[in-house]
A and B are shown apart, each in its own frame.
Chain A
Amino acid sequence: MENSTTNYKIELNFQATELRLGLPGSDEPEKRSCIKSNKRASPEVEESVTKSNCTSSDGTSDEQDSAPPAKAQIVGWPPIRSYRKNSLQTKESEQTDGTAMFMKVSMDGAPYLRKIDLKVYKSYPELLKALKIMFKCTIGEYSEREGYNGSEYAPTYEDKDGDWMLVGDVPWDMFICSCKRLRIMKGSEAKGLGCL
Chain B
Amino acid sequence: MRRMAYSFPEEVLEHVFSFIQSDNDRNSISLVCKSWYEVERWCRRKIFVGNCYSVCPSMVIKRFPEVRSIELKGKPHFADFNLVPEGWGGYVYPWITAMASSYPWLQEIRLKRMVITDDCLELIAKSFKNFNVLVLSSCEGFSTDGLVAIAANCRNLRELDLRESEVEDFNGHWLSHFPDTYTSLVSLNISCLGSEVSFSALERLVGRCPNLRTLRLNRAVPLDRIANLLSRVPQLVELGTGAYSSEMRPEVFSNLAGAVTHCKQLSSLSGFWDVNPACLPAVYPTCTRLTSLNLSYATIQSPELTKLVSQCHNLQCLWVLDYIEDSGLEAIAASCKDLRELRVFPSDPFGVEVEPNVSLTEQGLVSVSEGCSKLQSVLYFCRQMSNAALITIARNRPNMTRFRLCIIEPRTPDYLTLQPLDMGFGAIVEHCKDLQRLSLSGLLTDRVFEYIGTYANKLEMLSVAFAGDSDLGLHHILSGCENLRKLEIRDCPFGDKALLANAAKLETMRSLWMSSCSVSYGACKLLGQKMPRLNVEVIDERGPPDSRPESCHVEKLYIYRTVAGARLDMPDFVWTMDEDSAVGLS
Chain A contacts to B: CB under 8 angstroms: 1, 3, 5, 7, 10-11, 13-14, 17-19, 21-23, 30-31, 34-40, 45, 48-49, 52-54, 56-61, 71, 73-85, 87-88, 91, 108-109, 111, 189
Contact = CB atoms under 8 A, between A and B. Distances in A.
A10 B273 contact: no
Contact of B299 (A10, A54, A91): A91
B412 A57 contact: yes
A52 to B, nearest CB: 6
Nearest to A57: B412
A58 B522 CA distance: 41
A109 B541 CA distance: 9
B83 interface: yes
B411 A87 contact: no
Interface stretch (B16-24, B151-159, B248-256, B343-351): B343-351
Nearest to A81: B80
A17 B471 CA distance: 14
Interface in B348-365: 348-352, 354-356
Contacts of B274: 91
A88 B409 contact: no
B81 A35 contact: no
Contacts of A22: 522, 584
B78 interface: yes
B109 to A, nearest CB: 22
B190 interface: no
Contacts of B277: none
A59 B412 contact: yes
B81 A81 contact: yes
B349 A80 contact: yes
Contacts of B490: 76
B47 to A, nearest CB: 27
Nearest to B443: A52
Q: Which 9 A-B pairs have the closest CB atoms?
A: A76-B81, A59-B383, A35-B495, A40-B516, A19-B500, A57-B412, A76-B83, A59-B409, A79-B81
A77 to B, nearest CB: 7
B406 interface: yes
16 contacts: A11-B472, A21-B520, A21-B522, A22-B584, A31-B496, A34-B551, A35-B497, A36-B470, A38-B493, A52-B411, A59-B356, A76-B83, A79-B465, A83-B166, A84-B297, A88-B347
Contacts of A111: 491, 516
B164 A83 contact: yes
A59 B359 CA distance: 13
B493 A35 contact: yes
A6 to B, nearest CB: 11
Interface of B: 78, 80-83, 138, 164, 166, 192, 273-274, 296-297, 299, 345-352, 354-356, 381, 383-384, 406, 408-413, 415, 418, 423, 426, 430, 439, 443, 450-451, 454, 463, 465, 470-472, 475, 490-491, 493-497, 500-501, 503, 516-518, 520, 522-523, 526-527, 530, 541-543, 551, 553, 583-584
A87 B297 contact: yes
Contacts of B520: 21, 31, 34
A18 B504 CA distance: 11
**Chain A interface, >50% SS class:** loop
A108 B542 contact: yes
A89 to B, nearest CB: 10
A57 B83 contact: no
A34 B349 contact: no
B526 A10 contact: no
B192 A19 contact: no
B496 A60 contact: no
A83 B164 CA distance: 8
A109 B584 CA distance: 25
Nearest to B379: A79
B80 to A, nearest CB: 5
Contact of B451 (A1, A37, A75, A81): A1
A18 B384 contact: no
B351 A71 contact: yes
A109 B555 CA distance: 9
A31 B497 contact: yes
B83 A19 contact: no
Interface centre among A37, A75, A87, A88 (most CB of B within 10 A): A88
A88 B299 contact: yes
Contact of B406 (A1, A49, A78): A78
Contact of B409 (A5, A35, A40, A60): A60
A49 B467 CA distance: 11
Interface centre among B296, B351, B526 (most CB of A within 10 A): B351
Contacts of A84: 296-297, 345
Given A77-B465, A81-B81, A21 B443 contact: no
A45 B345 CA distance: 24
A125 B267 CA distance: 59
Given A3-B450, A22-B584, A48 B347 contact: no
Contact of B454 (A3, A11, A48, A87): A3
Contacts of A30: 551
Contacts of A54: 418
